[in-house]
Chains A and B, each alone.
Chain A
Amino acid sequence: MLRVSFLCLLLGAATGQAQDRTGLKTSVAVDLVGEYGTKAGSQANDKFVPRSVEMMFYAPVDHLFDARVSAAAHQENGQAMFEVHEAYISSDKMVDGVKWRMGQFFLGFGRLNRFHQHEWPFISVPKVQSTFFDDEGLFDSGVEVSYLTPLPFFLDVTAGMSNGYVYGHAHNAGTKPISPLAWMHLKSFFSLGALDFQPGLSLVQHTASDGTARSLAGFDLTGKLRKGKVLRFFWQSEMWQRSYTAAGGSEEISTGAYFYPQYGFDNGITLGMRVDYLTVNSLRDASGKKVVNSESALVPQLGYRPSEFSNLRLAYRFEQKELQPQAAESNEVVEFQITYMLGAHPAHDF
């Protein structure tokens, strides 16, 4: 009851005014998702639900600091949960070339992890993301600093450290880790004619209280070709390799990736295709022989974007799981999504 009242209060405040005279901007983003399995025994939800309702508040605090708060209600195991996603203070005005933030935020590495789920270009979570970082990505309390290097080309270096009491999505306080969550992201930029690309390199490290150790290295690439108001071509991909050692166990090496090219037609219609792949490289059988294994997916997607404030998407997800010598298993799911945003205009990061 308390949760619902708080939600109503926030919604009322958020939708009442997009920006007040102190510069406070408010917005509400709603992400409605439906998925239906087309085969018997499918693990699809077979229902249409609000995946998340997120309220965002941001404003300058004073002449030096800016701040942001976002809180989301989302579905978890059939129950509506409410949680703070972001609550941080930041500044880009104190030191030339430096931007920093302190508080709770989505950690600034990779590509998907830097964006809220309702801003992603596709509906479902790529397997590599859900396996390595959890569905929504990693968010935690800590400090992050990014520096725009004074080089003749664009090179932005971001590094951060957070509590690391939990890794991934959790509704508990967690326990003190052996080493906190630390990450680094290098971003650059280049153009091929009208086609712009932003490549990035990431490193993530964490050792939990029970000794479970994770070390990840990734490469992300985003490409855009814009013609007038139409995003004619869009590319997003990430490739990750993870070293994972469970408490008292041996090291497991996994590699995963997703690739998403998308073509935009003049009237707001887009056509894209996501390819997912994940494998445990170090998996061996009793004789020490490498076991062929993979999880893959093909996800063609049709989208309609009447404006930058709403999106309608329809996708078909064909998944396959292979673990030799067993026969491969497949799953087919129809997905659809409606996202919309009320309130303040979102700024377009590249």
Chain B
Amino acid sequence: MISKSLKILVVLSGLFLASSSFAALQVVATTTNVAALVKAVGGENVEVYSLTKGNQDAHYMDAKPSFIMRAARADLVVSVGLELEIGWLPAMISGARNPKIMPGQEGSLVLGDHVKPLEIPKGAISRDQGDVHPDGNPHFMLDPVRAGKLALVVAKRLTALAPKDGAYFNKNAQAFKSRMDEGAKVWAAAIKKAGIKQIFTYHKTLSYFLQRMDVNAVGYIEPKPGVPPTASHVLSLIKSAKQKKVQLILVEHLYETAIPKRIQKEVNGMKVASVPVLVGAEPDVNSLYSLYESLVKSLQ
């Protein structure tokens, strides 16, 4: 009887070990855009989980115990960095008590460390300037070209964690990068043809995308990053829109359209469009490619 039980135990242990050794890498991403990038590179050889959903702003989260649970079992945590997640990610990492994902370890990848950021504040900065990111604008995932380059960074890190799949990751990353580079050219041409050169946005979320597409954001609904609009600021935007002949306000889907619509009423021909800035914000925005396409459509 004991012998039979031992045999069953050995078989079960063997199955468990076999399943463990062939398990996909467990990757936790802080945003859906980062998760989409990791998925594009890792394919079926990684299991990616995004901590925030497509309708959640990574600026404003808590280190939820459910996040801690995910991080405790992760092989890799991929974050945006540039202080986007500073309010909760350190607490989550500490709470997870997982040595693999501690800062500086192979299991911690901060994408912001691998890009050249825009809008790095010059001179003295203080909170008087709103939610300023001292190391630059963290919304670089909305630039298809930067996302392409980051795919190679992700492939390198996944390869370090699962060397046997390195060729697969690199092939996927190269294909993703080529697709993004090609797409960026086509999208920029389409927007140029549409003739839109100047717009307003709500927050500085679209800076990277707009720079890539050669469109200028000449005003923001927020008077300062993270600060709600005041009546005087709205009046100054109305005046500015009339002077500069701005005809479009893109409102990132995380923000309300009420104030942009108030401006629309005061400016002839002004259009207001709510646009997704995160994968998963809308049912058909399920990859970075479809996210960029959706943004391009809003400018046509």
Contact = CB atoms under 8 A, between A and B. Distances in A.
B68 to A, nearest CB: 7
Interface string B50-69: 00000011011111111011
Contacts of A348: 61-63, 87-88, 91
Interface string B222-256: 00001010000000000000000000000000111
Contacts of A188: 65
Contacts of B226: 229, 307
A96 B87 contact: no
Interface stretch (B93-101, B141-149, B176-184): B93-101
Contacts of A349: 62-63, 91, 95
B118 interface: no
Interface of B is mostly: loop
Interface in A312-350: 345-350
Given A226-B60, A308-B87, A154 B254 contact: no
A154 B228 contact: no
A185 interface: no
- Point out which of B65, B86, B254 has the most chain A C-beta atoms below 10 A from its C-beta: B65
A345 B187 CA distance: 38
Contacts of B95: 92, 99, 148, 349
A198 B65 contact: yes
A91 to B, nearest CB: 10
Contacts of B99: 93, 96
Contacts of B48: none
A96 B88 contact: no
A299 to B, nearest CB: 24
A341 to B, nearest CB: 10
Given A148-B96, A229-B57, A189 B66 contact: yes
Interface in B34-80: 56-57, 59-66, 68-69, 72
A198 B98 CA distance: 21
A98 interface: yes
A308 B226 CA distance: 11
Interface in A276-334: 307-309
A309 B87 contact: no
A135 interface: no
A263 to B, nearest CB: 17
A229 B60 contact: yes
Given A226-B60, A309-B127, A350-B63, A154 B69 contact: yes
Given A97-B72, A309-B127, A92 B94 contact: yes
A348 B59 CA distance: 11
A156 B65 contact: yes
Given A93-B99, A96-B99, A148-B68, A226 B94 contact: no
Given A92-B97, A96-B98, A307-B226, A154 B68 contact: yes
B102 interface: yes
A229 B255 CA distance: 9
B52 to A, nearest CB: 10
Nearest to B254: A228
Contacts of A346: 87
Contact of B90 (A268, A307, A347): A347
Nearest to A146: B97
A339 to B, nearest CB: 15
- Point out which of A92, A188, A268 has the most chain B C-beta atoms below 10 A from its C-beta: A92
A269 B116 CA distance: 38
Nearest to A90: B94
B290 to A, nearest CB: 22
A150 B256 CA distance: 41
Contacts of B61: 226, 348
Contacts of A191: 66
Contacts of A309: 127
A350 B62 contact: yes
A287 B86 CA distance: 62
Contact of B87 (A98, A268, A347): A347
B62 A224 contact: yes
A196 interface: yes
7 contacts: A96-B97, A97-B72, A148-B95, A226-B62, A229-B57, A345-B83, A348-B62
Given A93-B99, A154-B68, A226-B56, 11 more contacts: A95-B97, A96-B98, A99-B97, A148-B97, A154-B66, A189-B64, A228-B56, A228-B254, A308-B87, A348-B63, A350-B63
Interface of A: 92-93, 95-99, 148, 150, 153-154, 156, 187-189, 191, 196, 198, 224, 226, 228-229, 266-268, 307-309, 345-350
